[in-house]
Chains A and B, each alone.
Chain A
Amino acid sequence: MTWVAWRQQRFQVLLSIGIVAVLAAVMAFVRFDALSLGGNEALIDERYGTYLNYLRLVLIALPVLLGMFAGAPLFAREIEHGTHVFGLTQSIGRTRWWATKIAVAGIPVVIAMTVLGLVNAWSSAPLQAVMFGGRLATPTFEIQGLTLGAYTLLTFTLSAAIGLLMRNTLAAMVVTVVVYIPLLGAVANALRPGYGTPITSRYQDIPRDAWVVESSYVDAAGNQVSFSPAGCTASINDCLTAGGVVQQVAYQPDDRFWSFQAIEAGLFAVLAVALLGVGAWALHRRLRLA
Chain B
Amino acid sequence: MIEFRIDRRSGVATYQQLVNQTKHALRLGLLQPGDQLPTAKEVVAATSINPNTVLKAYRELEREGLVEGRRGMGTFVSASLAQPDPTELREELAAWMGRARAEGLDREYVEALVKAQLDEHYEGEGR
A–B contact (CB under 8 angstroms): no
